[in-house]
């Protein structure tokens, strides 16, 4: 895309504009993505549709190429920055919109001892794109933080992230505590992070394992019965 | 044979009869292991030269390193280690892998189990250099600690700045390091120039520098244990025979 600078977004028809926005998101061009969102809204597009067709779909492609080793962490962060900028414009509209359909509440946080948060933030963004109300507990969360948030927000799903071999087992500690308190039977728990796999998720009794952000959002929708 | 190996091929082919122990290591530990190997060899021979001296120690310990860049793509570690073990583990009496768990999600341990090899105790090099207790203590005191070793200080620009894309996207610094409060330099050697460089690195990341001289920590003691064990054992007793490796590999 060497002639990228010459493309006037306003001159594109809707379909071409959405395609161009996905390309711009892939290239991490935050200003261009923001402008695309503005144009679609001016043309009367529903904010939900802008989110799903341009931003979420764009980020899904980014996720696939990250998984396949075509994109790396810095590029993904650039893309996430572009999506964030576009979402900044959509969020207030979605919050007011009568068509706003909340998929459910999702509490997410990185576990105690771990302060990696890039993956968790991406998952949060894709969940928001899928219509979830996301309550982000940030990093280094002891079991008490999860319990408090469950009590306060009554989420439909709980998500935990861990990137270190030393912190992964703590997810099991949280799940055990939820089980002891009888919360686990009603609250599905999703876990994720690069060193995890399905086997580990099964071993700690998690409801499901999310390999990447797009898949996690789809799984979460299934868990709350909104993916039929 | 894997092309990316920084292999000591000459040692492998010329000194077939003496070589005993294969150490497969992360490139970030290469210099340190070579230093430790000669220290161990000198200690064993009791003199620098003369009959019975083990010279640089290469006769006892053959070192093969994998790219340090695998740090950022830990999924590549286990298959690359396996490739080396498949090619040459059978030529040695014992195999030691100088990696921690390193975020391989159990894949490295699965490979080691198949080849009867062992690895460094601990999750990663910061933990085995500092020792588990000190590492825990630093993290307890300040969770926002980011660690550097001699190797990482020397290669800070390549592995941290370029590796994380901060040369291309300097504004991502806070996405990466926004949760961090201090840079902990766990030094292996006492080198004023490196310490100065570490201060520069801390400055670049916007973090306070804390310097703790830890030396080689667990790397020294574990390598020593491995060389001692190999010296005691009769040849061919430790590693599986080539045939059994081949069979295990096919099954795996
Ligand atoms: C970027 C990175 C960092 C950044 C973190 C920045 C940040 N704000 O998070 C920096 C450079 C600061 C860093 C620091 C450290 N890191 Co680091 N880091 C990485 C690296 C290279 C990539 C992780 C990442 O962000 N990936 C990108 C995201 C998008 O992927 P992801 O996290 O896997 O998330 C996806 C999925 O897993 C899933 N997912 C994630 N969370 C969740 C949650 C839910 C609920 C669901 C459903 C899904 C899900 O969806 C996500 C999106 O697709 C990994 C190696 C690797 N490739 O995994 C090492 C790695 C995890 N780090 C490691 C280490 C050792 C450290 C340090 C100790 C190093 C040091 N020198 O001090 C410190 C931590 C110190 C501390 N106090 O804890 C080791 C861990 C080794 C081990 N045995 O566990 C690794 C494996 C590197 C290595 N081989 O040495 N790190």
Quote ipTM for the complex. 0.91
In the CATH scheme, what is the code of domain B2-124+216-250? Answer: 3.40.50
Domain limits of chain B? Answer: 2-124+216-250, 132-213
> Does B127 contact ligand 1 (Cβ within 6 A)?
no
Question: Which is more confidently placed, A164 or B15?
Answer: A164
> Does B124 contact ligand 1 (Cβ within 6 A)?
yes
Q: Global pTM?
A: 0.90
pLDDT 10s digits, A26-85:
999 999 999 999 999 999 999 999 999 999 999 999 999 999 989 999 999 999 999 999
In the prediction, which pLDDT does B232 show?
72
Rounded Cα distance, B67 and B80, in Å: 10
Report DSSP state, residue B105: T
| Interface touch B172/A77, C-beta < 8 Å | yes
Which positions in chain B touch A111 (Cβ < 8 Å)?
A: none
pLDDT above 90: percentage of residues in chain B: 68
Long-range contacts of B235-243 (CB under 8 A, 24+ apart): B235/B20, B235/B93, B236/B93, B237/B93, B238/B92, B238/B93, B238/B94, B238/B95, B238/B116, B239/B89, B239/B90, B239/B92, B239/B93, B239/B94, B239/B95, B239/B115, B239/B116, B239/B117, B240/B89, B240/B90, B240/B115, B240/B116, B241/B90, B242/B90
CA of A191 to the centre of ligand 1 (A): 14
From the CA of B23, how many Å to the nearest CA of chain A?
A: 23
Task: Tell me how crowded residue B58 is: count the other CB atoms within 10 A of its CB.
Answer: 21
Confidence band for B118, pLDDT divided at 50, 70 and 90: very high
């Amino acid at each position: 895309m060497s002639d990228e600078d010459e493309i006037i977004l306003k001159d594109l028809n809707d379909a071409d504009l959405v395609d161009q926005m996905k390309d711009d998101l892939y290239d991490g061009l935050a200003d261009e993505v923001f402008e695309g969102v503005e144009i679609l809204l001016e043309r009367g597009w529903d904010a939900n549709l802008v989110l799903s067709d341009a931003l979420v779909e764009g980020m899904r492609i980014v996720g696939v190429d990250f998984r396949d080793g075509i994109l790396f962490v810095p590029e993904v962060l650039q893309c996430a920055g572009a999506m964030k900028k576009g979402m900044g414009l959509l969020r207030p509209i979605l919050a007011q919109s009568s068509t706003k359909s909340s998929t459910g509440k999702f509490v997410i946080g990185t576990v105690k001892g771990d302060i990696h948060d890039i993956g968790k933030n991406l998952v949060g963004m894709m969940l928001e794109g899928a219509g979830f109300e996301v309550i982000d507990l940030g990093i280094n969360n002891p079991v008490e933080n999860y319990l408090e948030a469950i009590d306060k927000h009554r989420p439909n799903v709980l998500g935990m992230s861990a990137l270190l071999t030393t912190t992964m087992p703590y997810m099991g500690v949280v799940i055990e505590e939820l089980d002891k308190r009888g919360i686990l039977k009603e609250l599905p728990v999703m876990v994720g992070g690069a060193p995890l796999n399905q086997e580990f998720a099964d071993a700690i009794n998690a409801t499901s394992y999310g390999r990447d952000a797009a898949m996690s959002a789809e799984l979460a929708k299934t868990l709350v019965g909104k993916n039929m | 044979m894997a092309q990316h190996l920084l292999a000591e091929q000459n040692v492998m082919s010329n000194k077939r009869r003496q070589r005993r122990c294969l150490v497969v290591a992360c490139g970030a530990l290469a210099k340190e292991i070579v230093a430790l190997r000669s220290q161990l060899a000198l200690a064993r021979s009791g003199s620098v030269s003369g009959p019975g001296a083990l010279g640089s120690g290469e006769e006892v310990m053959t070192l093969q390193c994998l790219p340090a860049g695998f740090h950022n793509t830990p999924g590549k570690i286990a298959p690359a280690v396996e490739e080396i073990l498949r090619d040459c583990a059978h030529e040695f009496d014992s195999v030691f892998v100088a990696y921690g768990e390193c975020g391989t999600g159990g894949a490295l341990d699965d490979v080691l189990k198949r080849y009867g090899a062992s690895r460094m105790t601990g999750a990663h090099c910061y933990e085995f250099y500092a020792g588990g207790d000190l590492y825990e203590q630093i993290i307890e005191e300040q969770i926002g600690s980011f660690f550097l070793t001699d190797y990482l200080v020397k290669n800070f620009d390549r592995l941290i700045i370029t590796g994380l894309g901060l040369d291309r996207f300097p504004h991502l610094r806070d996405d990466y390091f926004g949760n961090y409060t201090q840079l902990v330099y766990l030094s292996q050697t006492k080198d004023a120039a490196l310490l100065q460089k570490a201060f520069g690195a801390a400055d670049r990341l916007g973090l306070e520098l804390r310097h703790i001289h830890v030396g080689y920590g667990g790397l020294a003691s574990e390598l020593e244990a491995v060389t001692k064990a190999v010296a005691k054992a009769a040849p061919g007793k430790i590693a599986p025979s080539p045939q059994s490796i081949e069979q295990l590999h096919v099954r795996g």
